[in-house]
Amino acid sequence: MIDQLNAAFSDRYTVQRELGRGGMAAVYLADDLKHGRQVAIKVLHPELAAVLGAERFLKEIEIAAGLTHPHILPLHDSGEADGLLYYVMPYVEGESLRGRLDRETQLSLEDTTRIASEVADALSYAHARDVVHRDIKPANILLSGGHALVADFGIARAVTEAGGNRLTETGLSLGTPHYMSPEQASG
């Protein structure tokens, strides 16, 4: 897959390695050749991309890219390359809240309060702009430099707006079952 990505992104990004994989996409570490920085490229799984469609997906990603907040991971770029739908985010040194919770049995009250406050502030900002995350969970909260960043607004919004009904009809869920609200789980 890395060779396929490098061929698709040849003039813009050089993909180094896979960082992780989830139910909807895989994330790759890459060098941004134009700006001389490391980025994370999230590439939708082909079956999801086929259900969503490029035009609608990219329109919704553009809306999510308009979210500018200190605790929301920004989107730098998005597109379709050789049939692959993707978007580009800054590469964040650090770990996810999921990784930290796996490593530590309990967070300090200070850390818990700070993380919860920063995530709530990010969600409040997004909700005021009619953007709902739909997949908030520890794996989508990145911890870097002592602060929390909410990730994946792009994919959550795009999936919800571009193909929500079609996805649920095919049996794919829009979120992570253990973290879904009762309203999401019931459809």
d(CA 100, CA 121): 21
CA-nearest of 33, 117, 134, 46 to 76 is 33
Look-up of token digits 């996810």: 96
Query: The tokens of 15 are what?
Result: 């993909």
Active site residues: 135
Contact between residue 164 and residue 174 where contact means Cβ atoms under 8 Å apart: yes
Beta bridge partners of 84: 81
